[in-house]
Chains A and B, each alone.
Chain A
């Protein structure tokens, strides 16, 4: 398969990189946790009960009046996928590692453009997830809310007046909502302001974590901001708060970019073009270096320092240079050294496709 065909089939809507404020916000996601009434949660469900959950969801989807966002949606059972295929879905942020590795009778319903993914038998019976490109938490919530209503009209949920929607983990009870926004903050990282920004965010009940990389290290300057509280606040309040805080982060990042441009334009250009040079010529590249260089490249494109390359190159490549994707593209198992070589090839091909 040619690279362009592979990319066409590999891309989810959120990776295409369009959307409001996409120069800083990569994607917005809302996930709601729901359980069916009268059925133990997946952790304690018997095999036949877990199979029944899948069957019931499949049944309502097969009825004629499916929600427009689920037209053409497909149900995929984890047992029918290879390890590699599951890994690719995790790398595309469509399923969780837990669903891929630990679930029994786990399945996912994927909409055609992959903006909707509904995990079945993860920690809860249903995890309805809407993933939008750019800064659109309200839109993602609106769709998740509609889909939730659609399912609730056909399946009975575990709900209790005092505690709301009942979930397996006490951290999700109430609204069951987890809203998150993925942001690219290279300028704030360069001027070392992130360690001043993040404590303020956690103080208002939101969490920040790096998307890639272990522990405190955040590869590619990509961070995810999400709500922690699910009980005692209305969904709209939760989304509004997240949106307000992220709007401020966007403002801070924009200010930092302007300041960098005013004070150290040449150094910035040098950094961007060096990274471009390495990405378009390297023969071996680790995932760590690739993420860092791609972040520079993306910053250069967003600030107009580098032209002729589309901004979605970073969204695409940061997913497609992950281990699962590389192996899928190569149609074989690859060890870490082989992946570093394949990664360099894929990036070079992708960048030269841009120029051509």
Chain B
């Protein structure tokens, strides 16, 4: 069943509201339910990390000198083309809908990453099978810092060997 509010995402919250004896049935997705301010069991219990995050994001958008208001308004209207999550919804929920949200919201997310992680760029592991090019570039970077260390220590034989390996890897990247 689709969500009756957005008609796009699957409905995961089903409930009946009785107001003045009148029953109304609701079938909503998590995102629209949160927007409507409905309580989702479990999500609302205690102190949620997602609330804390949305606090950080909203703090960002409230900063008056941050950027011209018309630009902020445009970013509020940002929407992930793949899953349909808007930036506005993301800033309320504090969770992404799919991996394309990262691209859709782009640099707008960096202040958040800086606050949470102190960084904006990944330096860790790279997938073995699909990470090919990036893996080689990381290896080149590693060898280059090793190379300058060897040169400083005047270990020229080892440095020459490293230089050759770097060259071979760089050719592989270009070829």
Contact = CB atoms under 8 A, between A and B. Distances in A.
A101, A166, A230 — most chain B CB neighbours (10 Å)? A166
Given A153-B129, A169-B49, A175 B122 contact: yes
B50 interface: yes
A80 B123 CA distance: 40
B95 A168 contact: yes
Interface string B4-48: 000001101000000000000000011100000000011100000
Interface in B126-150: 126-131, 134
B94 A41 contact: no
Contact of B30 (A43, A170, A228): A43
B128 A149 contact: yes
Contact of B122 (A35, A145, A157, A231): A231
B96 A168 contact: yes
Contacts of A166: 96, 99, 102
Contact of A152 (B12, B31, B128): B128
A133 B31 CA distance: 40
Interface stretch (B60-68, B113-121, B160-168): B113-121
B173 interface: no
A40 B102 contact: no
B119 A104 contact: no
A170 B120 contact: no
Nearest to A154: B129
A103 B112 CA distance: 27
A41 B94 CA distance: 13
A148 B10 CA distance: 30
A153 B112 contact: no
Contact of A173 (B9, B113, B129): B113
Contacts of A205: 118
A40 B127 contact: no
Interface residues of B, number: 43
A305 interface: no
Interface string A12-55: 00000000000000000000000101111101111100000000
B74 to A, nearest CB: 21
B116 A35 contact: no
Contacts of A43: 30, 95, 97
Contacts of A174: 117, 119, 122-124
B53 interface: yes
Contact of B98 (A41, A98, A228): A41
A160 B102 contact: yes
Contacts of B31: 44
A156 interface: yes
B151 interface: no
Nearest to A177: B124
A233 interface: yes
B127 to A, nearest CB: 5
Interface in B61-119: 82-83, 85, 94-99, 102-103, 109, 112-113, 116-119
B125 interface: yes
A336 to B, nearest CB: 20
A229 B127 CA distance: 20
B128 to A, nearest CB: 5
B103 A160 contact: yes
Given A35-B99, A166-B102, 17 more contacts: A41-B99, A46-B9, A46-B10, A47-B10, A102-B43, A123-B95, A153-B129, A163-B121, A166-B99, A169-B96, A170-B95, A170-B109, A170-B113, A173-B113, A174-B117, A174-B124, A232-B122
Interface of B: 9-10, 12, 29-31, 41-43, 49-50, 53, 82-83, 85, 94-99, 102-103, 109, 112-113, 116-131, 134
13 contacts: A44-B98, A46-B9, A123-B95, A152-B129, A164-B125, A170-B53, A170-B95, A170-B109, A174-B122, A174-B123, A174-B124, A175-B125, A231-B116
A-B pairs, 8 with minimum CB distance: A232-B119, A164-B122, A158-B99, A175-B124, A231-B117, A40-B98, A166-B99, A44-B97
